[in-house]
Structure formats: C-alpha cells, structure tokens
Amino acid sequence: MKKIISILLILVLSVGLLVGCGGSGPDLTEVTEKYNQAADVFNEAAMLVESNGWLDDAEFLEIHNGLADEIEKIKTLIEDPEQAKNIDADAMSADLDGLIQDLEAYKEAVSVSLSDSSPDLTEVIEKYNQAADIFNEAAKLVEANGWLDDAEFLEIHNGIADEIEIIKTLIEDPEQAKYIDVDALSADLDELIQDLEAYKEAVSVPLE
C-alpha cells in the first residue's frame, strides 16, 4: 500500500511539472498522441481502482483524484490555444514518455484488490516475536535482580515495554499494518534485538 501511495505522489509531482513546460509556437501532434496514450492508461487504471476496491481507502482516493485533476490540466494546456503556444513540445514529449511508464506501473499496482495489497509481514512478525521474547527474559531478570527498586530505571523499563506494545499493535491492526514499510521495520527490529540483548545482559546482575 505504501509503495502505491509513493507511486501516486511521484505521478502527481511529475504531471505538475509537465504543466509548467514552456516554449513557442509548437507542433503538438506528437504531444497530443502521447497525452492520449497517457490518459488511456490512467483511465484503465481508474477502472481497476474502482473494481478492486481502492476507492474504500480515503488517503489513496484523495491522491488518485489529485492525479486525475493534474492530468486534466495537461489536456487543458494542450487544447487551449493561448496556453498551447507556450509549450516546449520536445521537453513535454519526453516527459510524457516518462509519465506513461509511471502510469503503467500504477496500473499494475492497482490491478490487485485492496485487501491483497497489504505487505507480507512474516519476517517482521518473526523478528518482533524474537525481540519480545528477549524483553520478557530481561523483565524476569529485572525482577529477580532487584532492579524494580530503582524508580528511574523502572520508568525507562516501562517505556521500553510500551514501545514494544506499540509495535505489536502496529503489526496486528490491519488498518495500520497496510502502511508498514517492511524493509525499514525489519532493519529497525534487527537493531532493537541487539539493543535488547545488551539490556538483558546488563540486568543479569543484581542491582547494587
């Protein structure tokens, strides 16, 4: 899902730049053909957006509609004689080539249903469980070795517990989980596991 949102945002930006192309007295035959091709790809993507349930995601829908508005601006730019005379045809043609490729990627991304777009969290869940196990082992040592008697330490320990619970909620809540950057979270969990191992070792001795 996050990947698709990123594609959309890039598309909106690139289309916005297209509208800004400038020049003088151009032949827009090639530009018009490429715009029509881009519009066709977008319309095909829009049908997939509707049929695959993407309209149910408010954030996605807002960006998708913004993209539609920007593409409409290109149409206006080409069809309005006053605006069209300022188009740099070569630059716009090249930019439309890039836009068509991006729209093809967008079309492919929405060719699956919204419910199937959630990331594969298998690796993340395994690493979270590993981190949680280490923390639970450390928590037993904290209690056994008298660390609960230190108020400042206890506050930090409880803060770690809260953060681990936040990660659990993020993974288990379908609405939040679909926005997870799996690679980034997996890397963060690797670091967390190392830190928790060090924490576990630190509390393996009695509080002095």
Span 155-206, pLDDT tens digits: 999 999 999 999 999 888 877 787 788 888 999 999 999 999 999 999 999 9
Q: What are phi and psi of 188, to 5 degrees?
A: -65, -40
Q: Which one-letter amino acid corresponds to residue 121?
A: L
pTM: 0.52
Please report, for residues 62, 66, 97, 107, 115, the alpha-carbon distance to residue 48 in angstroms, rounded to integers and kept in the order given: 16, 17, 22, 7, 14
Distance CA 52, CA 30 (A): 33
Distance CA 169, CA 171 (A): 5
The per-residue pLDDT for range 29-59, each reduced to its tens digit, is 898 899 899 999 999 999 999 998 888 888 7
Tokens of 158: 């409880």
Neighbours of 52 (CB within 10 A): 17
